[in-house]
């Protein structure tokens, strides 16, 4: 197999590996998001405030602030 063809195969394999890693990272982020939402929901339920009208707005504001710090 000539050098150019081998290099192309290496490049294609590298892209495939990166794509698999990126997909796994997305799945992990989604799982972590679900876990955080479950914890927040449970805490609000335990405190008896889950049904308060402003809870969603307050939680969203704080999550947005955390997201802004992470960027």
C-alpha atoms less than 13 angstroms from C-alpha of 60 in its C-beta half-sphere: 5
Determine the 3-state secondary structure of 14 from DSSP. helix
pLDDT in tens, 24-50: 888 999 999 999 999 999 999 999 999
Q: What is the pTM of this model?
A: 0.65
Residue given tokens 């000539």 in the structure block = 2
In this structure, what token pair is assigned to residue 43? 């805490």
pLDDT at 1: 58
């Amino acid at each position: 197999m000539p050098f150019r063809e081998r290099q192309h195969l290496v490049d294609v394999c590298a892209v495939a590996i990166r794509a698999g890693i990126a997909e796994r990272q997305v799945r992990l982020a989604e799982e972590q998001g679900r876990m955080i939402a479950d914890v927040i929901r449970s805490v609000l339920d335990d405190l008896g405030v889950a049904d308060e009208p402003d809870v969603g707005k307050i939680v969203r504001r704080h999550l947005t602030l955390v997201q802004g710090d992470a960027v």
